[in-house]
Amino acid sequence: MSAAAMARAADAAYEAIRTLNHETLARSVAAPEAYDVLGNLQQVGFALDQLTRQLGAGLVRSLTTHDVYDDKGDPAKSVALAVDSLLLAGQHARRVGECLTNAQAVIAGQGNTGVKEARS
């Protein structure tokens, strides 16, 4: 995958979340519908954890495979700081996945008989 394709994939992931934000802004979301969404979103947290670790490893590898420079100083130092931040982000992403898994589990038994009729 090219660098441009990776950037497009990251943008598509952002746009998908943004779409869900808009779709859930002012509407009710019944548990069966939320259950399906949560099932998919929990995987996003776990996948982000993996991605952040892989990006960090890729940055470290780039120090030996590319002629890297850093306008602010030592490239190895900035990569080390970036890796630390990526690892922390990954830990938080994994926690998001765990919390979404729990949210899905606690609504697993919920159902409904349809939308309530408006009372006049």
* Residue 38 CB burial class (10 angstroms; 0-12, 13-18, ≥19): buried
Please give the helix or strand (H or E) that residue 31 lies within, else none: helix 31-65
* Residue 89 CB burial class (10 angstroms; 0-12, 13-18, ≥19): middle
pLDDT at 94 over 90: yes
Q: Is the pTM of this model over 0.75?
A: yes
pLDDT digits (tens, 9 = 90+) for 7-63: 999 999 999 999 999 999 999 999 999 999 999 999 999 999 999 999 999 999 999
Q: How many CB atoms lie within 10 A of CB 41?
A: 19
**Could you state, in order of their start, the residue ranges of all structural domains in the chain?**
30-107
Contacts of 74 (CB under 8 A, 6+ apart): none
Determine the pLDDT at residue 120: 67
CB-CB contact of 105 with 38 (8 Å): no
- Region for residue 114 given its phi and psi (left: phi exceeds 0; alpha: psi -120 to 50; beta: otherwise): left
Provide the CB-side half-sphere exposure for 37 (13 A, CA): 15
pLDDT digits (tens, 9 = 90+) for 53-90: 999 999 999 999 999 999 999 999 999 999 999 999 99
More confident residue, 1 or 18: 18
